[in-house]
Structure 1
């Protein structure tokens, strides 16, 4: 057994995010392990750019209200305790509601994230599926 020391908090780059977003790398597998686990903190209204993960991604919502959208779909609202899975190659974005911070744990494998354009304000403000309708 080994107790790992997470790296310090880093601000994530503006080319991949709108607004202020910080991450703590909790686990980064080495050798045969490709597992990645980050705690990610979004300021109100902050969000990722459109992107895909070659092997998919799982988010666990820790705090606040998360907004997640697959390309062509409606925006889904997720709350603490919700788990959201995005399959390999599905273009999507995720971020915080406009009125509060949001924290999620992000789990994925490998470094093959393909970043695309930023989510526009009209896209961010699009139709949302309330939690009760999921």
Structure 2
């Protein structure tokens, strides 16, 4: 249940811990993924935010975003990759722009958990188009770009 509070200036505050965490659905994620603090701004905004926690080895399926996505890594170490590009290490404080329409994935490394805040806009009612799982051969392939 989401607990919100509106101030006299109509600012919406969603209290930490007021929304139930959910397991990342197996049709969109590999491994143990927990999604916390999901929020969609009221219309006319199309922005949504989620805090996503990946256990070691966990990752998203291949997917695209019609209006792009911003990731802010807040804990741990992860990897991200656009199709055809290098697998890149991501760490706390890193901001990642996932370009509109580019197939990509992101998640924890094989040995370290990772948490990120995901910010995306919806287009025609959807912020994401989910595709097939990222196979271990792709996920574990190196080298990893670290700069």
Both structures adopt the same fold (TM-score exceeding 0.5): yes
Match of 2:100 in 1: 88
Separation in structure 1 between the aligned mates of residue 131 and residue 38 of structure 2, nearest angstrom? 25
Matches within 5 A, 1:51-130: 51-110=63-122, 111-130=126-145
Gap regions ≥5 residues in structure 2: 1-10
Partner residue of 1:4 out of 14, 20, 26: 14
Aligned length: 132
Q: Which residue of 1 aligns with 2:44?
A: 32
CA contact (8 A) 2:19 2:38 kept: yes
Q: Which runs of 5+ in 1 are unaligned?
A: none
Instruction: Note the C-alpha offset of 1:107.
Output: 0.5
Q: Which has the higher contact order (CA 8 A, sep 6+)?
A: 1
Q: Which moved more, 1:26-35 or 1:63-72?
A: 26-35
Alpha-carbon separation, structure 2, partners of 1:86 and 1:52: 8
Contact kept, 8 Å, 2:53 with 2:116, in 1: the verdict is yes
Q: Does the CA-based 8 Å contact 1:21-1:46 persist in structure 2?
A: yes
Give the drift of 1:112: 3.4
Three-state SS of the structure 1 residue aligned to 2:14 is coil
Residue deviations 1:7-41 (CA, integer Å, cap 9, x gap): 21100100100001011134211221111110000
Shift in Å, 1:128: 3.2
- Secondary structure of the corresponding residue to residue 7 of structure 1: coil
Conserved 8 A contact 2:78-2:112:
no
